[in-house]
Structure 1
Amino acid sequence: MLQQRLALTNQIRGLLLDRGIEIARGFYALRTVLPALLEKEDSGLTPMMRDLGRMLLDMWNRTESTIEQMNDRLKCLARESDLCRRLQTIPGVGVLLSTAIVSAVGNASTFRRARDLAAWVGLVPQQRTTGGKPRLLGITKRGNSYLRRLFVQGARALWVWKDKHPNDPIQHWLIQLAERRHAHIAVCALANKLVRITWAVMRSGAEFNLHHHT
């Protein structure tokens, strides 16, 4: 559904750009600016293009409504699940990620170690030996790509706020890492850390503890 919404958004923007019309980025502009634009006879759009725009906008609205209903359902499921509720006490883990990880792996009992879960998600570094010395490369990107993307998004959210709470153990760790590594590497390393914390919370039966899990 998210990909369908994005595809429709790009189609609508492409239709307008063909006539030199550009609207603000974001979904809000599609909801507010586009309907009025499609009704204006002097907008620069031909009648056929306005009809096509209305059809695409109607499809976009229906897709958006479905996404909102699905999000409401996920929020309801997250409230009803003790495991999802506990996972959401982890910084960077919200409704979408908590429900997705529980749906995919249950209580993570099939993973003996936190690293096993991180490897399954595809967030462990590749290793290569050069001159007899092991070198760490980028993450493997193998495994569940959807979960990997969600963990990276959660890590990016924490990255944005890293300077706001420097005394927070996770943020302090991230700040120190950022001084030695490129931002992308630091975000991926944090995503790996979030996976390991997630495994620990799922296996412990307790909520996230800032000092115990960091």
Structure 2
Amino acid sequence: MTTELLSVGIDIGKDTLHIVGFNDDGSYAFRKKIKRLSLVATFEKLPRCIVGMEACMSAYFVSRTLRKLGFDPRIIAAKYTKPFVKGQKNDYNDAEAVAEAVLRPNLNYVQEKSQDQLDLQALHRVRSRLVSRRTATINQIRAFLLEQGIAVRTGSSSLRNSLFAILDNRGDEISPRMHDILIGLYEDWLWLDERIDATSTEIEQISKYDVGCQLLMSIPGIGPIISTALVAAIGNGSAFERGRDLGAWLGLVPRQYSTGDKPTLGKISKAGNRYLRTLLVQAAHVLMMRPKLWQNLSFEDWLERASKRMHKNKLSVALANKPARIAWSVLYNCTEFDNHTTDMEAI
């Protein structure tokens, strides 16, 4: 009886890859460690089969490379491979666990991202880092002023408008060295503003020409930033069967711990893309502060009732879940959102 190669698991490292192959009878076909540069040369010699790998930074590159060679690459979330690890953790055991997990029939795989999606995702990550650094710089300026006994009103605009007046009028309380430090931090602040504006402008330009972004921006509360972040994260939404699956993936639904026919729901799970979840919740907060705009929404009645019985933070999460579900429907069906005919409650 002859055996054939059934599946291969890859544990991706920075410089080396550990690969484990299984035959169709469950026996080991091989266990080896290869250099990253020899990936193509190694797999060209193998029979075409299913290849599994955990989702990580270079998983998309490896997946695209193997697909060009004729393999069937599948990317798996790390939490789904953990139950298959035997014994203690090492690179070979991880690769073996991936090779077994990839054969499960009902496993949800991570959708392979295109190069355009990766580029757009990188833009958002750069912008997020710059915004975080700007916030840290502003907070450091406030802290240094507070050490001198000077408190400034909350808000970046208040600090920007009063900083030089403070340096001029209260120079007797601020040493020359501290004065130079604050000026240097302010220059960093201006540079970060320029970089954030340039990155945001590039993202907005992409949203004008991307079909998916244009469809998403037909949804109330979704603009260039959220639309491009959604397209970068989920593409056309084909990785999800329904809108509620996207909401669950974003972590906008309660964490469930149910047993014995007794459902137990807790706080939101906070799974999936934290950055995207934050953007949607922030957009919900903005919409909640503008009740005059509610009349233009098809879920106006629901929002008015919910605002009377729910805390604002809980309501913002529930409200963020609605455009997330709608976004999946818009992307999956390639149609603009119709605010008058689409029933959001049913999506």
**TM-score, normalised to structure 1's length?**
0.91
SS of the equivalent of 1:133 reads coil
Q: Which has the higher strand share?
A: 2
Alignment partner, residue 97 of structure 1: 226
For residues 104 and 41 of structure 1, the distance between their equivalents in structure 2, rounded to whole angstroms, comes to 49
1:51 and 2:172 equivalent? no
Question: Are the counterparts in 1 of residues 298 and 343 from structure 2 also a CA contact under 8 Å?
Answer: no
For residues 321 and 160 of structure 2, the distance between their equivalents in structure 1, rounded to whole angstroms, comes to 37
SS of the equivalent of 1:197 reads helix
Q: What 5-or-longer segments of structure 2 have no aligned partner?
A: 1-129
For residues 2 and 10 of structure 1, the distance between their equivalents in structure 2, rounded to whole angstroms, comes to 12
Alignment partner, residue 342 of structure 2: 212
SS of the equivalent of 1:141 reads coil
Alignment partner, residue 310 of structure 2: 181
Q: How does 1:18-97 map to 2 (within 5 A)?
A: 18-39=147-168, 42=171, 44-97=173-226
Deviation at 1:137, TM superposition (A): 2.1
Q: Which has the higher helix share?
A: 1
2:304 counterpart letter in structure 1: I
For residues 148 and 50 of structure 1, the distance between their equivalents in structure 2, rounded to whole angstroms, comes to 40
For residues 96 and 3 of structure 1, the distance between their equivalents in structure 2, rounded to whole angstroms, comes to 16
Greater alpha carbon shift after TM alignment, 4-13 vs 189-198: 189-198
For residues 28 and 112 of structure 1, the distance between their equivalents in structure 2, rounded to whole angstroms, comes to 45
Q: What 5-or-longer segments of structure 1 have no aligned partner?
A: none
1:178 counterpart letter in structure 2: S
Aligned CA distance change for structure 1 residues 33 and 43 (closer, same or farther; 3 Å) = farther
Question: Are the counterparts in 1 of residues 287 and 293 from structure 2 also a CA contact under 8 Å?
Answer: no
* Cα-to-partner distance string for 1:112-157 (whole Å, 9 max, x where unaligned): 2212211221112222337742133221001110011011111112
Question: Are the counterparts in 2 of residues 122 and 141 from structure 1 also a CA contact under 8 Å?
Answer: yes
For residues 246 and 297 of structure 2, the distance between their equivalents in structure 1, rounded to whole angstroms, comes to 25
For residues 296 and 227 of structure 2, the distance between their equivalents in structure 1, rounded to whole angstroms, comes to 26
Aligned CA distance change for structure 1 residues 75 and 213 (closer, same or farther; 3 Å) = farther
SS of the equivalent of 1:138 reads strand
SS of the equivalent of 1:64 reads helix
SS of the equivalent of 2:266 reads strand
For residues 121 and 43 of structure 1, the distance between their equivalents in structure 2, rounded to whole angstroms, comes to 52
Larger of the two Rg values belongs to structure: 2
- Residue-pair matches, total: 214
Alignment partner, residue 168 of structure 1: 297
Alignment partner, residue 329 of structure 2: 200
Alignment partner, residue 136 of structure 1: 265
Alignment partner, residue 2 of structure 1: 131
Deviation at 1:81, TM superposition (A): 1.3
For residues 312 and 151 of structure 2, the distance between their equivalents in structure 1, rounded to whole angstroms, comes to 32
> 1 or 2 for the larger relative contact order (CA 8 Å, sep ≥6)?
1
Question: Are the counterparts in 2 of residues 197 and 213 from structure 1 also a CA contact under 8 Å?
Answer: no
For residues 41 and 31 of structure 1, the distance between their equivalents in structure 2, rounded to whole angstroms, comes to 16
SS of the equivalent of 2:263 reads strand
For residues 121 and 2 of structure 1, the distance between their equivalents in structure 2, rounded to whole angstroms, comes to 22
Percent identity reads: 38
